[in-house]
């Protein structure tokens, strides 16, 4: 990837996200090292920063880097496995058995590299992951220069990664300690779901989240069946059970939140919790449609996630956003619900806030990290451009991502990975995919 200590980028439009619903024209972004040094009119930028290399991007819109608030990156190697099944059967008959046979550090490394490549090419600069062997996902993110929030997974049954809740947490916290100081890595506690984690472990996670100031990334209220089982086994709904364990706080990222009632929404809002909305996965697994409009109106922070390639089957966050806003409009019967500027905010600053990273990423402001995406609006299918934000959400696709910077590093250049080493690594991963495919189908 090309490194430039200082760079002046001059696109046609800049969507800084903060303030909301703002599009700057005739402006430039000045990068100095890993940070945004300035955002100002182009002529002023040239006077204030003489001699800085310039990159003109006519016909391009620059936004903050997109944040995938929920995924399981390594599962890109399980893409298409068990399609057209509901969640419980998909997990129990296909995914968990395959993972029991295959999941290991090599599997996770290759799967995460494949996923990171797909996400980068689609404008995602940060992904919030939940999977076994997070050290392998960390290595994959480093290889491609990507920002990752690594979930320290906890699940109530043994796997190749760990044999008990205590071992899951110990290994995860050791990884966190070993990565201290890595500017592109952050961490979340990641209990899988209320139905796979016992009360004692949930309480322990809550204590750790408070002590270490870490987000808690957990699936919750994904299906109606999940709620029915919780009522039968525990006498309360899953979210109430998490609250009883001390987990419904500003640290909480509730993934899916499809089957939430007014009381659930009020609880999430009053405690400052966030929701990761994953519409394609919820639709494909027939789990339902999350009431996003009601969550937003209550003041819940909402970010957008793709979930995994196995349940989506694309890590196309921009496509996810378009579906999300159209569903919100269709379900409510109100065309004004979740307009394009608010959707872009969910893709960027909303995800950053949920991860506790909004002081450094999520908007284009001086002093923040230079995580940027340039979308090329010159293509015939994107003409004419009346409103760049509407064009981004309703018309553009990941194929229009032209340039990506992460912490000032030019990681995607003219639609291709920016470093020969990264390109070589991805080619090696692709060459190994038949091996993984054969292991899946032969076992």
Span 268-306, pLDDT tens digits? 999 999 999 999 999 999 999 999 999 999 999 999 999
Residue 157 confidence (pLDDT): 92
With beta carbons less than 8 A apart as the criterion, state whether 254 and 234 touch: no
H runs (alpha helix) in 130-164:
134-144
Rg of the chain over CA atoms, in angstroms?
Answer: 21
Dihedrals phi, psi of 91, to nearest 5 degrees? -70, -50
Whose tokens are 């309360």? That residue is 236
Whose tokens are 């699936």? That residue is 219
CA distance 114 to 433: 10
Residue 1 confidence (pLDDT): 40
Dihedral over Cα of 158, 159, 163, 169: its sign: negative
Q: Indicate whether this model's pTM tops 0.95.
A: yes
The length of the chain in residues reads 443
Two structure tokens written together for 19: 């303030």
CA distance 21 to 68: 21
CA distance 48 to 70: 40
Two structure tokens written together for 304: 């957008």
Two structure tokens written together for 245: 């364990």
Closest CA to 49 of 4, 12, 13: 4
Closest CA to 205 of 260, 166, 158, 261: 166
Element (H, E) at 108: helix 105-121
Element (H, E) at 323: helix 317-332
Q: How confident is the model at residue 100 (pLDDT cuts 50, 70, 90)?
A: confident
With beta carbons less than 8 A apart as the criterion, state whether 350 and 364 touch: no
Span 31-44, pLDDT tens digits? 999 999 999 999 99
Q: How confident is the model at residue 2 (pLDDT cuts 50, 70, 90)?
A: very low
**In the chain, domain spans:** 2-63+371-420, 66-354
With beta carbons less than 8 A apart as the criterion, state whether 350 and 399 touch: no
Q: How confident is the model at residue 441 (pLDDT cuts 50, 70, 90)?
A: confident
pLDDT at 18 over 60: yes
Instruction: Write the class of the CATH domain 2-63+371-420.
Output: mainly beta
In 3-state terms, what secondary structure has residue 37? Answer: strand
More reliable by pLDDT, 210 or 442: 210
What's the whole-number mean pLDDT along residues 300-322?
97
Dihedrals phi, psi of 151, to nearest 5 degrees? -80, 130
Span 119-139, pLDDT tens digits? 999 999 999 999 999 999 999
CB atoms within 10 A of CB 25: 11
Instruction: Please give the CATH number for the structural domain made up of 66-354.
Output: 3.20.20.140
H runs (alpha helix) in 13-104:
42-48, 87-89, 96-102
CA distance 314 to 281: 10
List % helix, strand, coil for the chain (3-state, nearest 5).
45, 25, 35
Residue 440 confidence (pLDDT): 84
Span 76-97, pLDDT tens digits? 999 999 999 998 899 899 998 9
CA distance 98 to 299: 39
Dihedrals phi, psi of 373, to nearest 5 degrees? -130, 135
Residue 443 confidence (pLDDT): 59
Parallel, antiparallel or unpaired: strands 124-130 and 66-71: parallel
Whose tokens are 């494949």? That residue is 114
Domains 2-63+371-420 and 66-354 equal at CATH topology level? no
Parallel, antiparallel or unpaired: strands 185-191 and 147-154: parallel
What's the N-to-C CA distance of the chain in angstroms?
39
Span 342-383, pLDDT tens digits? 999 999 999 999 999 999 999 999 999 999 999 999 999 999
What's the whole-number mean pLDDT along residues 142-146?
97
CB atoms within 10 A of CB 102: 19
């Amino acid at each position: 990837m090309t490194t430039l200590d200082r760079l002046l980028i001059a696109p046609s439009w800049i969507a800084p996200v903060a303030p909301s619903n703002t599009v700057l024209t005739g402006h430039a972004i000045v990068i100095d090292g890993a940070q945004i040094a300035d955002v100002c009119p182009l002529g002023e930028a040239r006077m204030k920063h003489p001699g800085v290399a310039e990159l003109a991007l006519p016909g391009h819109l620059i936004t903050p880097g997109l944040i995938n608030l929920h995924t399981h990156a390594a599962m890109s190697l399980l893409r298409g496995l068990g399609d057209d099944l509901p969640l419980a059967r998909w997990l129990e008959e296909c995914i968990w058995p395959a993972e029991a046979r295959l999941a290991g550090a090599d599997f996770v490394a290759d799967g995460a590299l494949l996923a990171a490549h797909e996400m980068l090419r689609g404008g995602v600069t940060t992904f919030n992951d939940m999977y076994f062997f997070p050290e392998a996902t960390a290595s994959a993110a480093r290889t491609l220069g990507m920002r990752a929030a690594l979930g320290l997974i906890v699940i109530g049954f043994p796997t190749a990664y760990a044999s008990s809740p205590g071992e899951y947490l110990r290994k995860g916290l050791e990884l966190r300690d070993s990565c201290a100081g890595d500017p592109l890595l952050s961490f979340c506690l990641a209990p899988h779901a209320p139905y796979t984690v016992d009360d004692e472990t949930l309480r322990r996670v809550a204590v750790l989240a408070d002590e270490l100031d870490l987000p808690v990334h957990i699936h919750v209220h994904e299906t109606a069946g999940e709620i029915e089982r919780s009522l039968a086994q525990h006498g309360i709904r899953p979210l109430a059970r998490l609250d009883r364990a001390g987990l419904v706080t500003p640290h909480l990222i509730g993934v899916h939140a499809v089957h939430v009632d007014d009381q659930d929404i009020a609880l999430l809002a009053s405690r400052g919790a966030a929701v990761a909305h994953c519409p394609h996965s919820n639709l494909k697994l027939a789990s339902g449609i999350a009431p996003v409009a009601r969550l937003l109106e209550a003041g819940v922070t909402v970010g957008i996630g793709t979930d995994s390639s196995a349940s989506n089957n694309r890590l196309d966050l921009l496509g996810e956003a378009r579906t999300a806003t159209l569903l919100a409009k269709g379900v409510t019967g109100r065309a004004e619900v979740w307009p394009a500027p608010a959707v872009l905010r969910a893709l960027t600053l909303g995800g950053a806030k949920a991860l506790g990273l909004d002081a450094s990423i999520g908007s284009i402001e001086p002093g923040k990290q230079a995580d940027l995406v340039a979308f090329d609006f010159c293509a015939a299918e994107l003409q004419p451009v009346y409103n760049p934000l509407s064009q981004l959400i309703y018309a553009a696709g990941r194929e229009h991502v032209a340039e990506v910077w992460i912490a000032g590093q030019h990681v995607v250049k003219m639609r291709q990975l920016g470093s020969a080493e990264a390109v070589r690594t991805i080619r090696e991963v692709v060459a190994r995919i038949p091996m993984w495919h054969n292991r899946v189908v032969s076992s």
